[in-house]
Structure 1
Amino acid sequence: MSPPDPSYLSRLRREAQAPFRGLRQVFYLVFAASGLMGGFILFLKAIAGHGGEDIGWSLALQIGVVVVMLSLWRWEQQRSPK
């Protein structure tokens, strides 16, 4: 039996150190995109005058979701083992 490829072993070690890292990053980006689309729609509603009284809070929430998800994605990128 031949020894395993070193690149294969390093990939296995990275996965053992941070399981489901790729899946978490996909979720971060998908939720950020969702918040961005929601914020865009709320912004258009506010411009059109159909937003209602709580449009400001809803828009702030959508922007907050985008900021948090992008921050988590960047944090995940920075702590990744190279």
Structure 2
Amino acid sequence: MSKIDPELKKRLLKETQTPFKGLRRVLWIAFSGSAFLGLLIMLSKFASGGELQENNLLIQIGACVIFPTLLFFDRDKD
């Protein structure tokens, strides 16, 4: 039989099924924060009287929806 601790074995098996999960979660959080900050800056420029390009606004809103959704789906199912 194996001399590996059962808890360690369980963690290692889980890591092989979903590699780099921690790194992915950090990236989703960073990208979500960047998207929301970009949207806030864009809206503040618009509120101060600047022009707002519709394409850029749609990209920012899309990023604000996609990255938190990816973070939600990447959570632990346990």
Name the TM-score, length of structure 1 as normaliser. Answer: 0.83
After superposition, the CA RMSD in angstroms is 1.7
Residues in 1 aligned to 2:5 and 2:64: alpha-carbon distance in whole angstroms: 40
Structure 1 segments of 4+ aligned residues over 3 angstroms from their partners: none
Residues in 2 aligned to 1:81 and 1:11: alpha-carbon distance in whole angstroms: 15
Aligned partner of residue 72 in structure 1, secondary structure: helix
The amino acid across from 1:49 in the alignment is: G
Could you tell me which runs of 5 or more consecutive residues in structure 2 were left unpaired when the two chains were aligned: none
* 1:65 Cα deviation from its structure 2 partner: 0.5
Identity of aligned residues (%): 32
Judged with a 3 Å threshold, the aligned counterparts in structure 2 of structure 1 residues 31 and 60 are, in CA distance, closer, same or farther, namely: same
Indicate whether 1:62 and 2:71 are aligned: no
Name the TM-score, length of structure 2 as normaliser. Answer: 0.87
Could you tell me which runs of 5 or more consecutive residues in structure 1 were left unpaired when the two chains were aligned: none
1:24-73: CA deviation from partner (whole Å, max 9, x where unpaired)? 111111001000000000000000012x251x332221121021011111
Residues in 1 aligned to 2:5 and 2:72: alpha-carbon distance in whole angstroms: 30
